Amino acid sequence: MKFFRLAWVIGGLSLLAGGLSACLKAPEYSFTPAISFNEIQRRRYTPTNPREQALDTIRIKINYQDGDGDLGLTAEELAAQPTKYTGRFAKNYFIEPFVKNRSSGKYEPLTTVGVPFPNVYNAGQYNGLYLHPTATTDTKAAPIKGTLTYTLIPFGLGDIFVPGQTVRFQVSIADRALNVSNTIMTDSVVIPPR
């Protein structure tokens, strides 16, 4: 008797689980990527040699979602066609720094601020490439979402930013079909003294 009751409960639960899984469907995202701000971190790397200067770097995390999953390049695509796209789309992660003007309190693009050393920064300098986030070679179209982490090239005293500056970054990404996401602005970080 207990066996039949157990079999009936297991059968009922299996039927319920099967019915619920049939109700679940893939999320419906736009084929144009959508991003949102997640986190920004500033890190200092102190060298062991006292003659070398400390380097700072900034790490930006964004959340993404895309309806057909064609974000990033697979390692094979990058190796086979490193120059497939030119101009703006030679990269797929677009990032522009903004510096807080101490007089007005407004953020201005770094290119208009008058960096300490002329011709040090070029617009688009921080743009970069990101690989396919799932780390697979599967190119089947399917919705995808997750987090991308991008780390800026380390910088030292007198490079781009100066101690005490408050900076934030404008970010957007492109997929392989060259659809460009919305643009987001990160929170701000302060460049620490040396």
Tell me: the pLDDT tens digits for 81-108?
Answer: 656 767 777 888 999 999 999 899 999 9
Tokens of 134: 């799932």
Q: Would you state the pLDDT for residue 1? A: 57
pLDDT, averaged across the chain: 80
114: left (phi over 0), alpha (psi -120 to 50) or beta: left
Q: What does 119-165 look like in DSSP terms, one character per residue?
A: TS--TTTT-B--B-TT-S-------EEEEEEEEPPPB-TTSS--TT-
Please write the tens of the pLDDT for every residue from 7-64.
555 655 565 555 555 556 777 889 999 999 999 999 888 888 988 888 888 999 999 9
Task: Pick one of 1.20.950, 2.60.40, 3.30.70, 1.10.3470 as the CATH number of 26-190.
Answer: 2.60.40
Extents of the domains making up the chain: 26-190
